[in-house]
Amino acid sequence: MSEPKVPLMLNVPVSMKAEIDRQATEKGEPASSYARRKLAEAIGFSLSRADVGRARKYATVEERIAAQKARKAERDALIRKLLAEYEASQSVEEVE
């Protein structure tokens, strides 16, 4: 298990931020990950694999999409059930 993370906010010149963004884009990684790695290299800190990136809820895109479809099906079923109950109550009120 990795060590807890805390935010580190730095004020840097706009041109420095632009350079970080440019270099991160060249490397094909998010600017925050790139800056974290470069800072660790600069101070001689070793980042473990668990410290890099963020936790993922789903292992694959397919797993995430399947979970989304399951949640949508549950939500749709609930909506249909509530709508049927509402329509039934409306028809009872019209009869009275």
* 48 compared with 83, residue with greater pLDDT: 83
Instruction: State the Cα–Cα distance between residues 95 and 43, nearest whole angstrom.
Output: 79
- How large is the average pLDDT for residues 31-60? 81
Kindly state the average pLDDT of the residues 62-71: 94
Q: What is the mean pLDDT of residues 61-82?
A: 95
- Average pLDDT score over residue span 50-72: 81
Q: How far is the CA of 44 from the CAs of 36, 37, 40, 41, 47, in angstroms?
A: 12, 10, 6, 5, 10
Residue 91 CA, chain-centre distance (Å), reads 44
pLDDT, greater one: 77 or 60: 77
pLDDT of 22 > 90? The answer is yes
Instruction: Tell me how far the alpha carbon of residue 29 is from its chain's centroid.
Output: 16
